Structure 1
Amino acid sequence: MTAAAPTPAPTAPAPVVHPPLPVPQALAYMGAAVMLALSQGLGQGFVSANIPQIAGDLGITTTQASWLMAAYMIPRASLPLLLIKIRTQYGLRRFAEVGIIAYVAVALASVWMQDFRSAVVLQALSGAAAAPLSTLAFMYMLEPLSQQWKMRLGLPAAMAVMMSGPTLARVVSPALIGDGGLGGIHLTALGMAMVSLMLVFRLPLRPVPHMKVIQSLDFLSFLLIGFGFAGLTIGFVLGPIHNWTDAPWVGALLAASVASLAVAVAVELNREAPLLDIRWLVSPAMLHLTATLFLFRLILSEQSAGAPRMFLTLGVPPSQMTGLFAIIVGASLLGGLACVAWMRPNRVAVLHLIALLLIAGGALMDAQATIDTRPEQMIVSQALIGFAGMLFLPPAMMAGLVSALARGPQYLLSFVIVFISTQSLGGVLGSGLFTTFINNRQAAHYAVLTEQIAVGDAPTMQAIAARAAGLAAQVPDAASRSAQAAAQIAQEATAQASVMAYNDAYLLTALIALGAALALVLHMLRDRLALRMSPQAEPDVTP
């Protein structure tokens, strides 16, 4: 005897269609959207780009400082579960005002961050307070536009600014840090938060109908899903650092996270008004979209976890990488403009194919790196990847929004959760997998190199003798010269093994992108053949 299917969630109020605002007001609202998006993006980027500096400022290890990144990302991935329902029940204006006040309060408290425990708490609060800013940035960008321009202009513009924030943080961080520690970064974040506060109160969002949508079981589902997301985030941030198997608690946490998510799915499937429509989320169309977003986020980890860390391994300071990251930001903005010009519902597959080919080309170029490679030599390849990222995400989000709204406004929540979760969790999981692959390949390459430079080997002895001769003027003692020369060769072997490992990761990224592009081409050909083979409707000749 089969159980009756649960009734769908209460229908959300029909969306209110506001007329477009005059051009001066429209520009003001779009400027507010840019400020909100940059405040959120820079806040996230300041943490991820300055882990070593934060560790030194707090007097902790970089492993401990990595907990700050995990603490920030946990609420960013899980809190949107409730934010949209809170916004629907209590109204846009109250949602915007409370959210921005909380963000300013946390930014103000961060100025006095002095120890590790307070830093973890403040980063968790920062992630929670930054979560509404992503939604507010979208709403302020879409608010003044007519319906036909919301998807075509508003969506790519909001995505371009939001996705550029973390990279822009790497451009401005060296100048803000200087010799004065992290005080400049905290004050900059506070100043941008206060400007955002002024803009939210000066430019209120137009009201929409309220509806009571929050139920008591929503909190149980939220806690279960939030714990699952938190465990996955912590596991994939700290797992590569602890080499996975060296810390048994990582595996136990991941298992508990999967179990928590499974219980959440069981609860949601048996609710009359679920927080998430699980049946719709596991439909073929949504599974395809989710897999596409997740795969693309994994591929883009090459840019966030690849080149910056490789250059740090090679001893390149952050101040010498600002030009590269500035060009990546510019390329991302150009990708957003390209979406404004070319994005249409019937061009999504073509734009995705172009993006995958550009990523594959950029990754193949990066795979030729050597220990002498510097940021200037990766400008073209990284610009291609940055441009491709913005050529991919807005069309994917547009396709998902159209699919969700076609089924009804209540499905919008489920899609937003899919999108935010795949981007937040996909970024964390992608970085963790990328780092794990590099660590394993580096160990393998280093083992081979050390066999080749074994002490007693004739070429190795000649290399040590040549290095020692070059150190004769600085080191008078012969034994010390030989020891120092051998240490230099071993250090160069470590750097060489690291670069070879990154080249393997770049090559793997290119192969994944090419494989995805091939699958997309086959999918497009199948759709075209199906369209040609479908019976044509007879023309209506009735007078």
Structure 2
Amino acid sequence: MNAPRYVVQPPAWEEHERPTMPGSPAKLAHSMPRRVAYFLVALLIGITGGLGNGLVVANLQAIQGQLGLTPVEAAWLPAAYYMVNMTANLLVYKTRQQFGLRVFAEWGLGIYAAVTVLHLFIHTYEMSLLVRGVSGIAAASASSLAVLYMLQAFPPAKVLSAFIVGMNLSSIAVPLAWVLSPSLVDISPWPSLYAFEAGLALCSLAAVIVLKLPSSVQIHVFEWLDFVTFALVTPAIALLCAVLVQGVNSWWFDTPWLAWALAASLVLFAVAAVLEYSRTTPLLHLRWLLHPSTLAFVAGAILMRFMVAEQSYGVVGLLRMLGMQPAQLQPLYGIIAIGMVLGTITGALIFSPQRVLWMILASIALIGTGGYLDWHATSQMRPHDFFFSQFLISFAAALFIGPIMISGFMQVLAKGLDHLITFVVLFSVTQSLGGILGPAVLGTFQAQRTQLYSQAILSRMEATDPQVAQRLSIQQQAFARTDTDPALRATQGRTQLMQIVRREAGVRAYNDVFMLIGLLAFSFLGYAMLRYVYTRYREDVHPRITGAVTQKLTTES
């Protein structure tokens, strides 16, 4: 293996102080006050990385109305974030290795702060898209910085616990955004959200400038073919995100450009794969990616993130369909945030390599239980009815992130550090893709089931049915004080009744969504347990039985 070419000659560290790998900070001893400072900066950066997009998602309807956007146009705002966030991780790791941590931290957060401040003065749709895209880059760097700062805050013996805490910070920021945004909007119009986001970005930039990470080893890692791969993969991921985000809004089979975008995405991925497969030092190690164990890891990580959409899409979608406003959802998201914090703390306290599998199995079981508890929802349900189930799911979501990341990381170390960037990109893509895939698939399923239930209910509603006639009469009486025309009251009554039918059909459809999530979770749990039992049998019981039989045959012969 060729010796690395240093960009800057590293300091004369002691052996125990040397960074674990290029691009990581040195492992220096810190005083307790300095460790606390590193912890607080990690907390600030991690929250900043996830809060911006969370605020936009929580207030997307208000932003859509303020800018006069259609639902399709509004959906491009979170889509721009995911498009850039997934592709930014392709270059984040190598940027740290070649240009150093300080340049990486200050430039990443500096550009984000500059754009968010500029957005305070330019309130246009195009500027909003630009800010969402830049926030995707900032989130990719902020998530890495949060972990690196958290590692400095913990003693060396608690490295894995620090890693779990740092990884979950950006996830905790999402429910926190729902808790904070109604109060921020009450203070002043919704552009105050941008002021809050800009303030966080500036505070994070100031924090990384004042409290710098220890130096790292800088080596030459970029090759010109890396940028060719980046130029191919970036539009491929962007097109795939566009299809998944806009598929439900524009409907899959009614919008031709979705098919063309998906086809173009697959072609670009194929060209990038051919290029990377033929390289001696690839940016992405496709041979490792196509290994059965890696594919199993990818499927499990995407499925876990997909099932957590029961929370972000299922329950929230149901409550908003029933007329709940963001302010009424604050207590629910407060419970979700508490669940994530407790899940993070629990994961950090109990984690060990021997418990990885059991922590993941516990997470799957909790998600399945949450889906089962939500299964029999009615139109009378309110946010407090979902407190327990959503606490379980949020606890599980925080509990599984660390173990599944570290289990994949251990597989990478067995292959070599040159595979690390492939794993970082892979994990980022699985989490972001699972987050987009959940609403896309579940939204399609819910829309189809709503249509089916609406038709089933309407097929049984005959005008001669006494109950239907009575309900129409009640609906018409509600308009008696405002409309004196009997024909107009009858029309309004029928329209109101159709809305009730649609609402009840939607509730039934969401129940099917909860049932689907529960079935997926328990099926996944059963598969994982069977696989564990089979693996233990092959590794432990089967060799002993085979050895005993062989010994007996040898003795008899």
Tell whether the structures are fold-level matches, with TM greater than 0.5.
yes
> What residue is the counterpart of 2:47 in the other structure?
38
TM-score by length of 1: 0.94
> What residue is the counterpart of 1:59 in the other structure?
68
> What residue is the counterpart of 2:138 in the other structure?
129
Per-residue CA shift, 1:400-426, capped at 9, x if unaligned?
122222332222211111111101122
Give how far 1:457 is off: 4.1
* Cα pair distance change 1:323/1:96, threshold 3 Å: same
> What residue is the counterpart of 2:552 in the other structure?
none
> What residue is the counterpart of 1:520 in the other structure?
528
- What secondary structure, in the 3-state scheme, does the structure 2 residue paired with 1:132 have? helix
Tell me if 1:171 matches 2:179. Answer: yes
> What residue is the counterpart of 1:541 in the other structure?
none
Tell me if 1:302 matches 2:310. Answer: yes
Per-residue CA shift, 1:98-141, capped at 9, x if unaligned?
11111111211221242222222232222223321111111111
Per-residue CA shift, 1:15-73, capped at 9, x if unaligned?
27513422211111111011001111111101222211111111222221111111111
Per-residue CA shift, 1:152-173, capped at 9, x if unaligned?
x212211332211111111111
Residue identity opposite 2:422 in structure 1? S
After TM superposition, list the pairs within 5 Å mapping 1:241-390 onto structure 2. Answer: 241-390=249-398
Deviates more, 1:77-86 or 1:57-66: 57-66
Give how far 1:451 is off: 1.7
Runs of 5+ consecutive residues of structure 2 not aligned to the other structure: 7-18, 549-557
> What residue is the counterpart of 1:24 in the other structure?
33
Residue identity opposite 2:461 in structure 1? I
**1:298 and 1:429 in contact (8 A); partners too:** yes
Match of 2:436 among 428, 432, 441: 428
Tell me if 1:214 matches 2:222. Answer: yes
Give how far 1:534 is off: 2.5
**Partner Cα separation in structure 1 for residue 198 and residue 3 of structure 2:** 40
> What residue is the counterpart of 2:406 in the other structure?
398
* Cα pair distance change 1:485/1:171, threshold 3 Å: same
- What secondary structure, in the 3-state scheme, does the structure 1 residue paired with 2:308 have? helix
**Partner Cα separation in structure 1 for residue 214 and residue 228 of structure 2:** 32
**1:103 and 1:130 in contact (8 A); partners too:** no
Tell me if 1:532 matches 2:517. Answer: no
Residue identity opposite 1:160 in structure 2? N
Per-residue CA shift, 1:455-501, capped at 9, x if unaligned?
45443222112333455455444333333222221111111111111
* Cα pair distance change 1:453/1:112, threshold 3 Å: farther
**2:374 and 2:511 in contact (8 A); partners too:** yes
**2:5 and 2:220 in contact (8 A); partners too:** no
After TM superposition, list the pairs within 5 Å mapping 1:48-127 onto structure 2. Answer: 48-127=57-136
**Partner Cα separation in structure 2 for residue 187 and residue 455 of structure 1:** 56
> What residue is the counterpart of 1:4 in the other structure?
none
**1:236 and 1:432 in contact (8 A); partners too:** yes
Per-residue CA shift, 1:223-245, capped at 9, x if unaligned?
11111110111101011101111
**Partner Cα separation in structure 1 for residue 297 and residue 170 of structure 2:** 21
- What secondary structure, in the 3-state scheme, does the structure 2 residue paired with 1:275 have? coil
Q: Percent identity?
A: 33
Per-residue CA shift, 1:260-316, capped at 9, x if unaligned?
111111100001110011111222222221111011111111111111121111111
Runs of 5+ consecutive residues of structure 1 not aligned to the other structure: 1-6, 539-543
Give how far 1:454 is off: 4.3
- Aligned CA RMSD, in angstroms, stands at 2.1
**Partner Cα separation in structure 1 for residue 179 and residue 20 of structure 2:** 43
TM-score by length of 2: 0.91
**1:40 and 1:133 in contact (8 A); partners too:** yes
Tell me if 1:225 matches 2:233. Answer: yes
Tell me if 1:142 matches 2:171. Answer: no
**1:8 and 1:274 in contact (8 A); partners too:** no
**1:331 and 1:384 in contact (8 A); partners too:** yes
**1:20 and 1:144 in contact (8 A); partners too:** no
**Partner Cα separation in structure 2 for residue 123 and residue 353 of structure 1:** 35
- What secondary structure, in the 3-state scheme, does the structure 2 residue paired with 1:186 have? helix
- What secondary structure, in the 3-state scheme, does the structure 2 residue paired with 1:241 have? helix
Give how far 1:75 is off: 0.7
Deviates more, 1:282-291 or 1:320-329: 282-291
**1:107 and 1:190 in contact (8 A); partners too:** yes
**2:83 and 2:237 in contact (8 A); partners too:** yes
Residue identity opposite 2:507 in structure 1? V
**Partner Cα separation in structure 1 for residue 136 and residue 349 of structure 2:** 34
Deviates more, 1:313-322 or 1:521-530: 521-530
> What residue is the counterpart of 2:551 in the other structure?
none
**Partner Cα separation in structure 1 for residue 344 and residue 425 of structure 2:** 23
Match of 2:247 among 231, 236, 239: 239
**2:184 and 2:192 in contact (8 A); partners too:** yes
Give how far 1:179 is off: 7.0
**1:356 and 1:513 in contact (8 A); partners too:** yes
Residue identity opposite 1:180 in structure 2? S
Residue identity opposite 1:491 in structure 2? Q
> What residue is the counterpart of 2:461 in the other structure?
453
**Partner Cα separation in structure 1 for residue 239 and residue 119 of structure 2:** 25
**1:88 and 1:213 in contact (8 A); partners too:** yes
* Cα pair distance change 1:110/1:455, threshold 3 Å: farther
**Partner Cα separation in structure 2 for residue 236 and residue 40 of structure 1:** 23
- What secondary structure, in the 3-state scheme, does the structure 1 residue paired with 2:248 have? coil
Count, aligned residues: 531
**Partner Cα separation in structure 2 for residue 281 and residue 80 of structure 1:** 16
**Partner Cα separation in structure 1 for residue 301 and residue 403 of structure 2:** 11
**Partner Cα separation in structure 1 for residue 86 and residue 114 of structure 2:** 21
